[in-house]
Structure formats: structure tokens, C-alpha cells
Amino acid sequence: MEVKKSSQPIGIFDSGVGGLTVADAVSRRLVHEEIIYFGDTVHLPYGEKSADAIRYYCLQIVKFLLKEDCKIVVIACNSASAAAYRPLLDFFEHTLFVNVVDPLVEEVARRGFQSVGVIATKATIQSGVYEQKLKELQPGLRVASLTTPLLAPMIEEGFFNGVVSRTVIENYLSNPMFEGIDALLLACTHYPLIKKNIQDFFEGRVQIFDSTDVVAQQVYTRLASRNLLNDRRRQPHRFYVSDYTPSFEGAARLFYPGEIQIEEKRIWREGM
Ligand code: DGL
């Protein structure tokens, strides 16, 4: 087994821009680390794909990130974490992985709520992963899960914190299944961008959780426990997509406030 070095980069991937909300949190929490980000825009949206297809995409992306010498891989997509986390652990036995589901579930289960809501893509909700993991940690918890497939495309088109997003969000969140919830989990890495709309909708009655900071903390803990924290960054972050479009670059700027230059990496067309 190859020995890892602290100077190696952190690999982060998603179907597209959503995972940049996680990358942003990681780069703020671990300021000396180099990040290699991959957005699989050829296959966006993962939320509408089968678990088998998502697993295949993830396998190829992780191979790419490991070829780029990443010391840890963050699956910054709930749909991918739900479908592919276990298979990736089995396939890449010696690789450190962080998914976005477990840190969020652990954070929420610690609070001792009675009733929570979960909103996410079809792939995530239909996998049942949140309900199952939350109930493993807190057996009596009531979990109301709703697919909200319009939200990720709406956000990517730049509709958030305005009239359009307020109307769509209101439509989803006024579902009677959410009556009386104490907390709502934003189980898609796109949704932190509409957190304010969601908070406004509930007028402070419901606590809103997302995976950004808890995942960044988990990356920190995993690296620290293996002495793999970098103390001096030498390279700028690198951002790759499998299919480049200028509109994607525009959307990426909404998700990642820092300096960003996106390059196309044709891992699907050139083999690797
Ligand atoms: N960001 C992805 C997630 O967390 C959703 C976007 C997609 O459907 O590709 O599930």
C-alpha cells in the first residue's frame, strides 16, 4: 500500500456545481490544502439517474482523482453518496473517503429532535439512506422525506433568493408531511444556496441543516488523525468538468465565491 503524504491534494467531486458549496467549506476550514474538484457535467443531473449508472460514473471519477494523487476523496453529492459510497469503499480499499450523508445525519441525530424533514433529489430519497441512517442512530425519530427535483436545476439557472425560487420552495415545503417538524435537512449539495429562502419560509420555527461545514470538519478530523494535514499549500486549487460550457462557469461562480478557473477534462471520451 502506497504511503500518503500531507502535501497531496484533496479530491472533491459532484455531478456539477453543487459540490462547490462543500469545496468552499473545505477550503475555508482547511486553508493550507490544495483541492482538485471534478464536476461530471456530461452526466448531470445524477438525481435522475439509476444507482447503477451513478456507481459507474463515480468509479471513473475516483480513478481520475487518484491518478491526480489525491490523499482523500470527498463525495460531495448526496445522490452519489447514497448510490456509491459502499461500493467505492470496497473497490478502492486503501482510499480515504468522506461522504456527505453521514456527517449530516450524525449532526442531526445528536440534537435529539422528535420529527425532521428531508428534501433531496429522487436518487437520494428513493435510496432511503437518510431515513435508514437517522433511525439507526435515533430509532424513535419521525422522518418525512420529499423529492424536490425542480430545486437543483432552478438553482443552476441562477434562480435563488427571488420570486421564482420563493414560489417553488413554498410549493414543496407547504406539503402537509412537514407539519410540526423541528428540523429540515437540505440533503442536496445545491441547496445551501437557497437556505435563506427556506429559513424565511419557516420563519424561525424549524432549524435548517446542510452538509457543508460538517463535511469540512469531517475531512479535517480524518486527515488530522492520520497526520495528513498540510501546513503549507504549494499549488492553487484546480477545477475540472467533463463538459465545459460558459454558462456552467457562470453557475460555478455562484457556488464558489473564491478565485476559480475551470478546465475541461474529457475522462469519458479519452479513456484515462
Ligand atoms: N448535488 C447533487 C446532490 O447532492 C444533486 C444534483 C444532481 O441531481 O446531479 O445530490
What's the rounded mean pLDDT across residues 248-269?
A: 85
Helix (H) or strand (E) holding 55: helix 51-67
Q: Is 121 in the pocket of ligand 1 (CB under 6 A)?
A: yes
Q: For ligand 1, pick from 22, 42, 188 the residue to mutate: most ligand atoms within 8 Å of CB.
A: 188
Question: Would you please indicate which residues are annotated as catalytic (active-site) residues?
Answer: 77, 188
Helix (H) or strand (E) holding 134: helix 129-137
And the C-alpha cell for 84? 456509491
Position in ligand 1 atom list of the atom nearest CA 47? 8
Question: For residue 14, is pLDDT > 90?
Answer: yes
Q: Is 14 in the pocket of ligand 1 (CB under 6 A)?
A: yes
Position in ligand 1 atom list of the atom nearest CA 189? 4
pLDDT of residue 247: 78
Ligand 1 centroid – CA 267 distance (Å): 20
Q: For ligand 1, pick from 124, 190, 191, 215 the residue to mutate: most ligand atoms within 8 Å of CB.
A: 190
Taking the C-alpha atoms of residue 62 and residue 38, their distance in angstroms, rounded to an integer, is 9
pLDDT tens figures, 156-181 = 888 888 899 999 999 999 999 999 99
Question: For residue 270, is pLDDT > 70?
Answer: no
Ligand 1 centroid – CA 259 distance (Å): 23
| In contact, 232 and 207? CB cutoff 8 Å | no
Position in ligand 1 atom list of the atom nearest CA 76? 4
Q: For ligand 1, pick from 79, 81, 101, 215 the residue to mutate: most ligand atoms within 8 Å of CB.
A: 79
Position in ligand 1 atom list of the atom nearest CA 187? 4
Q: Which three-class secondary structure string do you get for 138-164?
A: CCCCEEEEEECCCHHHHHHCCCCCCHH
Q: Report the chain's mean pLDDT, rounded to a whole number.
A: 94
Question: For residue 271, is pLDDT > 80?
Answer: no
pLDDT tens figures, 96-140 = 999 999 999 999 999 999 999 999 999 999 999 999 999 999 999
Ligand 1 centroid – CA 79 distance (Å): 6
Q: How far is CA 40 from CA 32, 129, 216, in A?
A: 26, 22, 21
pLDDT of residue 256: 86
pLDDT of residue 72: 98
pLDDT of residue 115: 98
pLDDT tens figures, 66-103 = 999 999 999 999 999 999 999 999 999 999 999 999 99
Q: Is 47 in the pocket of ligand 1 (CB under 6 A)?
A: yes
